[in-house]
Amino acid sequence: MTESMDHRCSCKVGRKRRKYDLDGLNGELRERRFDHGASLRDLAEYVNRRMLETAIERAGLDFTDVAYGAVSPDDALAVVYETLTGDGVPADREVRVRTRLEQRGVDIEVIESDWVTHPTIRAHLNECLEIETSRSSRITPDDSRDTIEWARTRCARVVDQTVSRLISSGHVTVSDPDISVLIRITCSDCGQTYRLSELLTEGSCSCHSDT
């Protein structure tokens, strides 16, 4: 499901994506799941931190003013989130952070009620993004087409952005570049090359069709 289709997603993740203006969240979840092997708990924490980040930014609050001793916004966000959710955090430290946020108009109780759990993430991936999360599940041709098309589109976008930067910096000159990424599967036994759709239709390479 693309971001433009997100209006169809009425689950909690979809509602909070819209509430906190988390543009590109679905693509980020796909990338973290497929490219980095993020667990459902990792993804839930990522979404929750994004919501916290947005709420703090909307309040015009500097992260480093809340996370004492942090040297960067990313470091500060991690410190604040860990303070609010981590086990073994000193009570006085948590109170200081919560008080500082509330004084600047950040309603922590509302944010915490908006946070998602890993079962919520699983439901969003399965039902809204059509990403199978069961380790025992078998991939289907439609699953493979969707996954490979998503990867091909993402790859083309990265290449396009990189070429645009090269043009802007004067390293290359090309007018209106048209970026395309082609997926080909080659059999190492006979060297025959197929498009994914061809291989799915045939079911096997021609050199294996009689085996």
State the pTM of this model. Answer: 0.62
Residue 70, SS3 per DSSP: coil
Task: Determine the Cα–Cα distance for residues 157 and 116; give it in Å rounded to an integer.
Answer: 29
* 194 phi/psi in degrees, rounded to 5: -130, 150
Whether 154 and 165 have beta carbons less than 8 Å apart is answered as no
Among positive and negative, which fits the CA dihedral 87, 92, 98, 104?
negative
DSSP assignment of 40-57, as one string? HHHHHHHHHHHHHHHHHH
State the pLDDT at residue 151. Answer: 79
CA neighbours within 13 Å on the CB side: how many for 198?
11
Task: Determine the Cα–Cα distance for residues 191 and 28; give it in Å rounded to an integer.
Answer: 36
Distances (CA, A) of 39 to 27, 42, 57, 95, 209: 16, 5, 27, 30, 38
pLDDT below 70 — which residues of the chain? Answer: 1-8, 64-65, 67-73, 135-139, 143, 209-211
State the pLDDT at residue 97. Answer: 87
State the pLDDT at residue 139. Answer: 63
Helix crossing, 25-34 with 12-19: angle to 10°?
130
Give buried/exposed letters for 90-129 (b at 16+ CB in 10 A, else e): eeeeeeebbebbeeeebeeeebeebbbeeebbbbbbeebb
State the pLDDT at residue 48. Answer: 95
